[in-house]
Amino acid sequence: AQRVTQPEKLLSVFKGAPVELKCNYSYSGSPELFWYVQYSRQRLQLLLRHISRESIKGFTADLNKGETSFHLKKPFAQEEDSAMYYCALGGTSYGKLTFGQGTILTVHP
């Protein structure tokens, strides 16, 4: 069975500091990993996906199959990055996604 673990429920950093949101997954097939973000009073939206190897709003995430991880990183956090972040695992049948429990990131001024 597939599983996604986000070990930190809450993460606080100061503006300008580096931030890393951890995500580990368990899946026997070929995984597809995503990060979703939910800003205050906005709907949940896709931040980035591993197949695109892109940087969005300064965030990057590298899929490490050896460590089964897909950590989200940003070198210099901004206050507007404060939000709930979900890691999600796809690649399963019918496009189903398995989500982690989410991490609330707070960036202090």
Return d(Cα 61, Cα 9) in angstroms, integer.
19
Q: Is 46 in the site for other proteins (CB under 8 A)?
A: yes
Q: Is 102 in the site for other proteins (CB under 8 A)?
A: yes
Q: Is 86 in the site for other proteins (CB under 8 A)?
A: yes
Stretch that binds other proteins, among 10-18, 20-28, 44-52, 64-72 (CB under 8 A): 44-52
Size of the site for other proteins (CB under 8 A): 24
Return d(Cα 79, Cα 8) in angstroms, integer.
19
Q: Is 25 in the site for other proteins (CB under 8 A)?
A: no
Return d(Cα 105, Cα 59) in angstroms, integer.
13
